[in-house]
Structure 1
């Protein structure tokens, strides 16, 4: 159908432009933040764009529905301003009929959104966590600055001086924070540290010379001490580490389903399964809110409409928080979507409701 092809082309082109613009704005701000971290020596500048690439799917899960909604508003608004909607109505094609013509496109976008939320975004987060975890270990030795404490992950390192090739550190202090309650924190003082390069080994290996090693037990009045002439320290990058169960956002769907009784997992599971259907509500909202007088311009209702759609996203986020705290069940997600859909459907079935309300208010 010619009208469908025309609408689909306009909506796809406009939505992609809006999504690209919003992505550029949001990722630009994030890139500036990471540049600041790299300038402080806590991140290798060579991995900045890899980090941005891994975080991109996570941002797209929120940008994509908003971009689709704005694209619909702009296309429908232009139809009213250019009197194309009047011609279509005169031909027996209503705005609701146009919305039905866009249902196949909305279904395709919904599937893309579900793929992003169920598979691509969690995968990107897992890659991001592994990359930043490796950087937390790497930067501790590779970007040490003389007479400054450098904290990276569970390590804090201090050196009074270092060689130009960064293989020798003088007067070294290394603090390793324990990640388990029953394990001690470790403090190592050494006169010198020498980097040891082992081929095909991603770990950091350092030989500490003439020093002492202390084990400190938090909350307990005891410690252990050992002196050494040479002590080899090996720090793994942990690239193959499994994702923690607490990091629900990066967990696979199978892992979420196994732990579905946990409120945090329920919140993430419902978020992935139900939030993509906000695209259907976006189509209904855009159809109901885009009607404008040609004299008013296509942007007349754009900002109020964006605020209304943003309120839907905020409501879903609030539900997500409540489910995490076990205050609501997973049913709250479809309930919010259902309420917005019913209200929008009411306005779609009563196109002259606004005029009647204004008439009553003026009496």
Structure 2
């Protein structure tokens, strides 16, 4: 590798590492605060908080890493322009294409890692996240229930109240379970309630010595019954279609004819390409006059990233709604990014030819 490329890569590599660490820490802190609040409210097991944060960070890395790379390229090259080092490099006879080559050499392995993370790590992390969320929504994992408190599930309205909870055996003493449904609600009062199976797909609770109430929302056909032993099958909670799609493997998405699945597939496939194109676009955008503020170009750089980010999301939505054909589909944004990049490169080469005349 030539000296100029090695120097530029070294200048970019340091801020990339720092920014990835900072962004990951900030995002993890925000996620931890959110899930700790749910743990305090009794809607999430405390031991699941760390797992949820890790999975959310894995999902977010496909965005955090390209942002860190894009910003680091702009900051590093902005400093080199500010200190007239780029001017000295070009004056020595070096082609401006060497700036693009240096950035590409650094961005290529990062883009490959981002693509692998998006194609394989993203669905895996979403699968694990939804598994934990479903367990919490089921409200039947005794480990996160609190005694003498209304443990309310915001997603389905189910409420559990128990005077005492034995987390080792899963027994709830003097328990009250409120289970809303379509057309009627059910209320169960039991001396002892024991969670037989906390599986969110089929949560089962064994009730001993109690009373059940079936309350019609419209009408007067309420039913009250007394029982000695009752196995209560609570209604499972199905993940939303969007959640299912994000956790679906890339292989299954690739053979699905549904526009929603194809939109998710194209989103995953374009993450790596967008990452390297974004980094290369930062090269011409970071150009500033010598002695000008090194952060003077950050505003247009930030605006460009916002446009690309929202355009990608809009294209994904349009493809899912069949308002945009699958070809180019979500690939429309990377294609436009590549076209703009070629225009910048052609402009730089034209400037070099004019100066050589």
1:47-83 per-position Cα deviation (integer Å, ceiling 9, x unaligned):
1111000111211111111111111111111221222
In the alignment, the residues of structure 2 paired with residue 251 and residue 215 of structure 1 have an alpha-carbon distance, to the nearest angstrom, of 39
> Could you list the runs of 5+ residues in structure 1 that have no partner in the other structure?
179-183, 355-363
> Could you list the runs of 5+ residues in structure 2 that have no partner in the other structure?
352-357
Q: Is the 8 A contact 1:172 1:193 kept in 2?
A: no
Alignment partner of 1:47 is 2:48: yes
Cα 1:191–1:207 change in 2 (3 A) is: closer
Q: For 1:169, which of 155, 170, 173 is the aligned residue?
A: 173
Residue aligning to 2:317? 321
Alignment partner of 1:207 is 2:207: yes
Matches within 5 A, 1:65-84: 65-84=66-85
1:190-249 per-position Cα deviation (integer Å, ceiling 9, x unaligned):
242233689xxx976533323236497x999978775422113467999xx999686211
In the alignment, the residues of structure 1 paired with residue 189 and residue 268 of structure 2 have an alpha-carbon distance, to the nearest angstrom, of 50
The offset of 1:169, in angstroms, is: 2.8
The offset of 1:23, in angstroms, is: 2.1
Residue aligning to 1:181? none
Alignment partner of 1:283 is 2:279: yes
Q: Is the 8 A contact 2:245 2:261 kept in 1?
A: yes
User: What is the DSSP-based 3-state SS (H/G/I as helix, E as strand, rest coil) of the residue aligned with 2:173?
Assistant: strand
Q: Is the 8 A contact 1:191 1:210 kept in 2?
A: yes
Residue aligning to 2:299? 303
Residue aligning to 1:270? 266
Q: For 1:146, which of 134, 144, 148 is the aligned residue?
A: 148
Give the TM-score, by structure 2 length.
0.82
Q: Is the 8 A contact 1:58 1:121 kept in 2?
A: yes
1:164-201 per-position Cα deviation (integer Å, ceiling 9, x unaligned):
646343252331648xxxxx876242242233689xxx
1:250-309 per-position Cα deviation (integer Å, ceiling 9, x unaligned):
1101110221x2111111011111232112322331111111122212211022212112
Cα 1:352–1:102 change in 2 (3 A) is: closer
In the alignment, the residues of structure 2 paired with residue 242 and residue 318 of structure 1 have an alpha-carbon distance, to the nearest angstrom, of 24
Matches within 5 A, 1:170-209: 170=174, 172-175=176-179, 177=181, 187-195=186-194, 205-209=205-209
The offset of 1:90, in angstroms, is: 1.9
Residue aligning to 2:355? none
Alignment partner of 1:347 is 2:349: no
Cα 1:348–1:147 change in 2 (3 A) is: closer
The offset of 1:38, in angstroms, is: 1.6
Aligned length: 341
Residue aligning to 1:230? 229
Q: Which stretch shifts more, 138-147 or 107-116? A: 138-147
Cα 1:30–1:234 change in 2 (3 A) is: same
Matches within 5 A, 1:59-98: 59-98=60-99
Cα 1:283–1:152 change in 2 (3 A) is: closer
The offset of 1:135, in angstroms, is: 2.6
In the alignment, the residues of structure 1 paired with residue 218 and residue 259 of structure 2 have an alpha-carbon distance, to the nearest angstrom, of 31
Q: Is the 8 A contact 1:133 1:153 kept in 2?
A: no
Cα 1:36–1:222 change in 2 (3 A) is: same
Q: Which stretch shifts more, 140-149 or 129-138? A: 140-149
Alignment partner of 1:108 is 2:109: yes
Residue aligning to 1:129? 130
In the alignment, the residues of structure 2 paired with residue 231 and residue 213 of structure 1 have an alpha-carbon distance, to the nearest angstrom, of 13
Q: Which stretch shifts more, 6-15 or 113-122? A: 6-15
1:9-37 per-position Cα deviation (integer Å, ceiling 9, x unaligned):
32222112112222222232222121221
In the alignment, the residues of structure 1 paired with residue 222 and residue 112 of structure 2 have an alpha-carbon distance, to the nearest angstrom, of 57
